[in-house]
Structure formats: structure tokens, C-alpha cells
Amino acid sequence: MKNTLEHITFKTVWKINEKTSNLLGQCYAYINAMLNTPIRPDYHKEMLIVSLNKGALATTAIEGNTLSDDDLKKIQSGKDLEPSRRYQQQEVENILEAFNAILGELIREKTSEIISPRLIMRFNEMVGKNIGDAFGGDPGQFRKRNVIVGAYRPPSSEMVERFVQKLCDWLMQEFHYKKEQHFDEAVLEAIVSHIYIAWIHPFLDGNGRTARLLEFYVLMRAGIPGFASHILSNHYNNTRTEYYRQLQYASETGDLSSFISYAIEGFRDGLENTLEIIHRNQREVTWNNYVHDEIEKMQNEGKNPKNLRRIRQLAYNIPDNRFCSLNDIMILSPKIVGEYRGLDQKTLRRDLDLLAGKGLLVTEKNKYRANYELLNSLLADSSIPLKRHF
């Protein structure tokens, strides 16, 4: 990295090429689709928890934290990790607490702030809270001494406060927050503010986590749904070598174009995956509604309601993406286990064949799967191929 400050210009030193512009358009379309898709409250809550957990693990993992999903589940069940890893537990808990505080302010309280030195210091304080000596500085306090990060020499401590204030003033002027900020501007502000915090390195410790927390804040402030909040941190962690390479390249050249393109491409991919998860949930809801209606018709045919309740649970829980044997089906879910407790496989096969006869299941070599193809008849139909022109 450069050992001069030529790259810290507070100017628009990037270009959005056609590919990046198209990626931004796709991001906007995916987010609009998410915001306009009804999601069951229980599933929405589950998605949000998973997203925040992933984001917390990812942003701390970039800095060397080794906690796993299983470790976090243990912590969230009320158990502490062993003393030697207690500081890593605190690091992740701090990020989760910060995420929830931000979402509370932005979503529940409907209050937002401009990017200011006070806000940036607050985020660093959140990052370093209660970590003790494992956190190499005073949380929430600008550094009072000079540092070297690898081969990179950030601005001297005397310049930090002035540079942070200049950054905040520039972000407000450049990205027009509170003046009908557009989606593209919000995404760029999030990424650019992240890079500049890394460059200025205003704190003795926690600069990366603070930068990514600020990025999270700007995206959430722009209206991106909370269950998509982990995407950029997850992308940086999954491509950690490239993340550091892009930061270094931006510092050496002073050009942010490549980092912006790299970040937006990962953002697009993550949004696409998240939308696929939402669509899978919607298919499941639609399937269960369809099954319920078909089973109701069987009741009108004089079938025993008690048996139909059992058969309904069977149809709800058989997957559509693989064929299952009778032995597989008997233990597919607690509900199936409960409904068929004390019954033999002959009863199970009879129920399965009834569902297959109604077209709700597909059979192959004495195995069964849900016939989600029936839902294709519910999709919008068009005789004209859909094309997009650029």
C-alpha cells in the first residue's frame, strides 16, 4: 500500500461502467421484489436471525475470530464458551447487539442520522465493548498515536479527527442523504465510507468491523430489508483474499472503481440467493394451501376427518426435490412421527397411494416426492417471450 496520503482525496475517483451499472439495476430489482413479497411473520423472523448471525460471524471472522455456527448456537442457548475464547464470544455478541440496536432505531423507531464523527465513534465503541485487553485500544476513542498496518501507514494521529470530519462532510455533499437520495447513491455511499474508514484507520483497533458496521447502517438506512443485512460482510469473508487485494489496489491507485464493482457483484449474488430462499418459502406456503384445499375435497367425499388430518400432515412434509422410501418418510419430521406412531407401514403406504392417486405425489420405484409441478398451473402465463433491451 502507499505510504503517502495521495489516495485520500475526498473526490469522486471512481467510474461506474456498464457492467456495474447493470449489477446495481439487478440489486434494485431484487430488493424491490423482496419488499413486495409477503412473508410469513415466523419465517421473516427466522430469516432475520439467520442473517444477523451470519453477518456477525462473517465480519469478525475477517479479523481472525474463529467462532462457528455451532459456537453461536451454544452461546444463544445461554451457555458461555471456555475462558480462552470468551473474548471471541464478546466480539460476536457486540456485533449482534450493534445490529439489533441499529435495526431498532431505523425500523422500529424510524429515526436515522447523517454520518458524523460521533456516529462513527459510537460504532467503534459498540465493536470494542467489554472485550478488555484483547481489544487493542480505547473503544470509541480516536487514536492518539501513529500506527502502521502491514506496509500501510495511515494518516498521523493529529490528522485523524480532521480527516473523519472531512469524510462526513464530503459524504453528505456527494451522496445527498436527506435530499431524495437514490438507491445507487446509497449503495455507493455505503461502500465508499467503508473504504475511507479503512484508509483513515481512525481507531487503534476495530477499524474493519467499524467500517463494515457503518456500511451496514447506510444500507439499512436506505431501506434494504434486514434479512439481507449480512450479504456484504458474508461476501467479504467468503472472498477474504480478494477483499484485501481490492482494498490494497484501491490504496495504491487511489481508484475505487474495482472495489466498488467487486462489492456490488457480491451484493447482487447474495440478493439473488436470498430472493430464491424467499421464493422457496412462498412455494411451500402455496403448496400447503393447495394441499389443504385438496384434502378438504376428500372430506366432502366422506373420508374420515381423523385420517385426513394425518394424510394432510403427510402431504405437507414430503419434500419435492428428492424421492423418499417408506422408511425415510416415517422419520421425515416430528409431525409425521407423531401421526403414525402405533401404525404400520401398510397404513402409510395406503395413505401415500391415496395422495399419489390425487396427483399430489409422484412415485418412482416405491419412493415418493411432492408433486410441486402442480403449482405451475398457478403461474402467470404469457405467449410472448420476455426480453430485456439495454
In order of their start, the domains of the chain are 18-276 (1.10.3290.10), 303-378 (1.10.10.10)
CA gap 76, 82 in Å, rounded:
15
Residue 165: what residue type? Q
* Cβ contact 127:93 at 8 Å: no
Entry pTM:
0.86
What is the rounded CA–CA span in Å between residue 311 and residue 369? Answer: 14
Candidate from 13-17, 77-81, 203-207, 304-308 with smallest mean pLDDT: 304-308
Q: Write down the mean pLDDT value for the chain.
A: 91
End-to-end CA distance of the chain: 38
* Alpha carbon distance 98, 140 (integer Å): 13
DSSP 12-24: ------HHHHHHH
Question: pLDDT tens digits, residue range 85-132?
Answer: 999 999 999 999 999 999 999 998 999 999 999 999 999 999 999 999
Whether 386 has a pLDDT exceeding 70, the answer reads no
Count of Cβ atoms closer than 10 Å to residue 237 Cβ: 20
DSSP 221-234: HTT--GGGTTHHHH
Whole-angstrom distance, CA of residue 106 vs CA of residue 101: 9
In this predicted structure, the answer to whether residue 163 has a pLDDT above a threshold of 70 is: yes
Across the range 7-20, mean pLDDT stands at 94
C-alpha cell at 337: 412421527
Question: Cβ of 257: how many Cβ atoms within 10 Å?
Answer: 16
Residues 148 and 142 sit within 8 Å (Cβ to Cβ)? no
Q: Which of 106-111's residues contact partners 24+ apart within 8 Å by CB, and which partners?
A: 106/217, 106/220, 106/221, 107/220, 107/226
Q: Give 380's pLDDT tier (boundaries 50, 70, 90).
A: low
